[in-house]
Amino acid sequence: MLSLNELWFVLIAVLFVGFFFLEGFDFGVGMQSQLLPANEKQRRVMINSIGPFWDANEVWLITGAGAMFAAFPNWYATLFSGFYVPFVFALFGLILRGVAFEYRGKAQSAGWRKTWDLSILIGSFLPPFLLAIVFASFIKGLPIDGDMQMHASFFGDIVNVYTVLAGLTVILLCNVHGLLFTALRTFGELQDRARKRAQVLLLPTGALLLAFVIMTYFETDIFEVRGILLWAIVLLGIVAFVLSGYFCKKKRDGWAFGMTGAVLGLSVISVFVGLFPRVMVSSLGEAFNLTITNSASGHYSLKVMTIVALTLLPFVLGYQIWSYFIFHKRLSDKETLEY
């Protein structure tokens, strides 16, 4: 049986897998909506394709952070105060993005739209890029002292070759994932463009992924710690990635989309598997690691949270899946374009 601490570690991992799978595609659509479309109408169609979903997708992140706060307060406290400046940028991105979707369609002038389009681009780039940096530095290790305080330098501890590589890899993955979502939700010229662009991007994405795996082998201890299990995840990731290329070529957009989502999900899983039972690795010595024991809430609190979460989760998943079902049809030519 899982202990409650382990269960909450798994639940938080699930929330972040869900977040990267779901918001991964709307981040990708956000970026590509500024790079791919041939005209304004295609751009509107693209942005509207994620219209009913992006807000709820973002809540996966908010719930993930909330669950960290509730189940592992020391993890939450060390993480958010330690990554102060990156989080300012990430939050700034989320602010821009959230209002940009809502506001860009509310006035007609070209300057107005250009401003919000730029906001969508920045706002869709910054959060996944910075979160990938955060996740990569979890396993690389950060200067966390005996008081669980993190004193990281912005350049060096947080921003370095390894973490930036992680950031760029995730950005490219999100772009491909988003393009495949576009292919899934539209038809005609836009769909063709999206598929083609996805195919072009797959190659550099694969190269970055490979480089990231190799660098992870040398920069972190997670292959040492987990051995065969981690290799299995990497292998699954490679299979999923190759399959996404195959399905994309065969124009089976749904399957291709599922596979890039799987690659994103497996990347997050590999971080959590590599971390366990730690939640943050200290570069100052093993004794200073934050773990699922020393950063956790009390047993009572975890028990209450578990009951609440397991009661609510089926409903949440139920109506979210239902909302995807409501909007499952490709955007038709009679569509009302809100954004």
Residue ranges in 292-321 that form contacts with other proteins under rule CB under 8 A: 297-298, 300-301, 304-305, 308-309, 312-313, 316, 319-320
Q: Does 337 bind other proteins (CB under 8 A)?
A: yes
CB nearer to other proteins: pick between 82 and 265: 82
Q: Does 196 bind other proteins (CB under 8 A)?
A: no
CB nearer to other proteins: pick between 242 and 313: 313
With CB under 8 A as the contact rule, the residue among 225, 239, 283, 338 that binds other proteins is 338
Q: Which of 161, 168, 136 is nearest to 31 (CA)?
A: 168
Q: What is the dihedral of CA 327, 328, 329, 333, to 10 degrees?
A: 40
Q: Which of 139, 145, 194 is nearest to 163 (CA)?
A: 139
Stretch that binds other proteins, among 80-88, 128-136, 241-249, 259-267 (CB under 8 A): 80-88
With contact defined as beta carbons under 8 Å apart, do 128 and 24 qualify? yes
With CB under 8 A as the contact rule, the residue among 4, 71, 209, 292 that binds other proteins is 71
Please give the Cα distance from 293 to 277 (Å, whole number).
8
Please give the Cα distance from 31 to 100 (Å, whole number).
13
Please give the Cα distance from 193 to 177 (Å, whole number).
14
Q: Does 4 bind other proteins (CB under 8 A)?
A: no
Please spell the DSSP secondary structure of 57-95, one letter per residue.
HHHHHHHHHHHHHHH-HHHHHHHHHHTHHHHHHHHHHHH
Please give the Cα distance from 61 to 297 (Å, whole number).
20
With CB under 8 A as the contact rule, the residue among 95, 203, 211, 242 that binds other proteins is 95
Stretch that binds other proteins, among 63-71, 165-173, 246-254, 256-264 (CB under 8 A): 63-71
Q: Within 13 Å, how many C-alpha atoms sit on residue 242's CB side?
A: 7
CB of 84 to other proteins, least distance (A): 5
Burial category of 330 from C-beta neighbours within 10 Å (exposed 0-12, middle 13-18, buried 19 and up): middle
Q: Which of 26, 47, 28 is nearest to 337 (CA)?
A: 47
With CB under 8 A as the contact rule, the residue among 3, 73, 217, 255 that binds other proteins is 73
DSSP state for residue 105 in the 8-state scheme: G
AA identity, residue 105: G
137-156 positions binding other proteins, by CB under 8 A: 147-151
CB of 159 to other proteins, least distance (A): 15
Please give the Cα distance from 82 to 69 (Å, whole number).
15
With CB under 8 A as the contact rule, the residue among 79, 122, 132, 139 that binds other proteins is 79
Query: The tokens of 181 are what?
Result: 């979502």
99-138 positions binding other proteins, by CB under 8 A: 99, 101-103, 105-108
Please give the Cα distance from 205 to 175 (Å, whole number).
9
Kindly state the number of chain residues that form the binding site for other proteins, as judged by CB under 8 A: 85
CB nearer to other proteins: pick between 45 and 209: 45
Q: Does 19 bind other proteins (CB under 8 A)?
A: no
CB of 14 to other proteins, least distance (A): 12
CB of 269 to other proteins, least distance (A): 21
- Binding to other proteins by CB under 8 A, coded x per residue (else -) over 172-191, reads --------------xxxxxx
Q: Does 62 bind other proteins (CB under 8 A)?
A: yes
253-272 positions binding other proteins, by CB under 8 A: none
CB of 2 to other proteins, least distance (A): 18
CB of 315 to other proteins, least distance (A): 9
